[in-house]
Amino acid sequence: MSTIAGVDGLEVTGPIEDRFDEVLTPRALELVALLHRELNGRRLERLAARQERVRALADGASLGFLEETRSIREDDSWQVAPPAPGLVDRRVEMTGPTDRKMTINALNSGARCWLADQEDANSPLWTNVVNGPLNLMDSIDGTLEFTSPEGKEYRVRDDVELPTIIVRPRGWHLPEKHITVDGEQTSGSLVDFALYLASCGQKQIDRGQGPYFYLPKMESHLEARLWNDAFNLAQDHLGIPRGTIRATVLIETYPAAFEMEEILYELRDHSAGLNAGRWDYMFSVVKTFRTRGEDFLLPDRNSVTMTVPFMRAYTELLVRTCHKRGAHAIGGMAAFIPSKDPAVNEQAFAKVRADKEREANDGFDGSWVAHPGMVELCTEVFTAVLGDRPNQIDKKREDVQVAAEQLLDVRSTPGEITEAGLRSNISVGIQYIESWLRGSGAVGINNLMEDAATAEISRSQVWQWLHNGVRLSNGETVTRELVERITDEEMEAIAEARGDAFSSGRWDDARALFLEMAVSDEYSDFLTLPAYERMP
């Protein structure tokens, strides 16, 4: 344990590897210390407020649009800042972690923007936390290259327009245990933000763009206010003009869906719009109303499409809200990974096309893909609607009127709860956790790119079905014994499929953690918190 770079009261306890000093600079660590001392108390208050809301909902309260912020919603005069350079045309956005290979593939993808993910598609091993901004710095400097263990070389192409980099830091709930200030663990959010901003912010400004961010898992406009204060503190500390930072907020929690306008308002000088997630939103439905029984019971996760009533209400309200305030509305993820099987590809591409056509026709300004092989399809679909226009913010969707009851109408979701769905949740959840514990947060499973949100909805559904005594479509009741039996069977199938490689994995840890989350009496808010404790 040592004091790094003479920053008083700050300790870096993670190992210092080659070139880490280029990211863990005095300038960056001074910013981490400043943000921690000014904001960490408020961060912890906001996390406590989440727990208070859960208790209130368990006692019979509900979610709704806030009366105390009605004046913000009814004031038609305010707008967010105009789109920043590089964020005007966002018709297709690539997503993925910031390891060297994935960074190069994302930059070569032909997408307009790249969500450089330090959150759900990234496992927060200490090396990943520091190497992420280091790889981004190299990409901006034009020095990024990678050679795989097999000898394959990866380099950034010089014949494509590189996407705008948008970094997604960790959510407010996650700590960073390898950096402490005054003896306290720091915030993963603020560490990711500060390390990227200090190392790459001015470089991005110098190349005509800026430091841009995606903000995950917020549950209220007061959490957005905390981010806005962090932006102002950091910009002032580094001598960057206020408003240079821009941020797109993921509306991926149930409570945030009722505070979209207020979130835009809090971030209005730094806002770049909102994004409509899917798995995390469904995860939040279960988490928020976990004590409320059948009214919030979801069927098999793969049957809950964006066209079911409560999801449709949420996405249409998001487009209307964004465009009313001059902000971009960005659609959800196409997680499909192109296969070597033409039949599989044909079916999957048709589903992705239909999903993107719905988004483009609803008024979204762009959408996400998880694999470079899907960039062309998404671009084609949005260009068919946008033409030469960079976005369709002028499509106001004033025809949309969404009441709180529509956002809460989970009961009308069609679909069954099946044994196949239960097996899939258990198998995919365990496979993902095992990979995450080893340091890889973006995992291809069954031709889909899975991230932490997949594991969260998977274990949450198993918990919800078990604690509500759900009867599967085959007539069998979900019990602890059934979950444990299927877990044993799925583990055997995974071991057979992996062969010799199985013995070198962290399968016992992954199985134990998944079951701990899925069958415990008390529901844990985040799978990633106990998983992080199991990391070095």
CA distance 215 to 90: 17
Q: Is 167 left (phi over 0), alpha (psi -120 to 50) or beta?
A: beta
**Half-sphere exposure for 394 (CA within 13 Å, toward CB):** 4
Burial class from Cβ neighbours inside 10 Å (0-12, 13-18, 19+) for residue 343 reads exposed
**What pairing do the DSSP bridges indicate for beta strands 175-181 and 184-187?**
antiparallel
Residues assigned a catalytic role: 168, 451
Indicate the residue type of 155: R
Q: Which two tokens stand for residue 167?
A: 């970094």
391 SS3 class: coil
Query: What are the Cα distances from residue 145, in Å, to 34, 123, 140?
Result: 34, 21, 12
Contact 31, 201 (CB under 8 A): no
Identify the residue whose tokens are 């068919």.
Answer: 384
**Half-sphere exposure for 211 (CA within 13 Å, toward CB):** 27
CA distance 450 to 438: 15
Contact 127, 17 (CB under 8 A): yes
Please, where are the H alpha helices in 179-273? 188-206, 221-238, 260-266
Identify the residue whose tokens are 């976990």.
Answer: 290
- Angle, alpha carbons 131-204-225 (nearest 5°): 85
**Going edge to edge, which strands form the sheet with 10-12?**
10-12, 175-181, 184-187
CA distance 371 to 338: 8
Query: Residue 275: which residues within 8 A CB-CB, separation 6 or more?
Result: 214, 248, 249, 250, 251, 252, 329, 330, 331, 332, 368
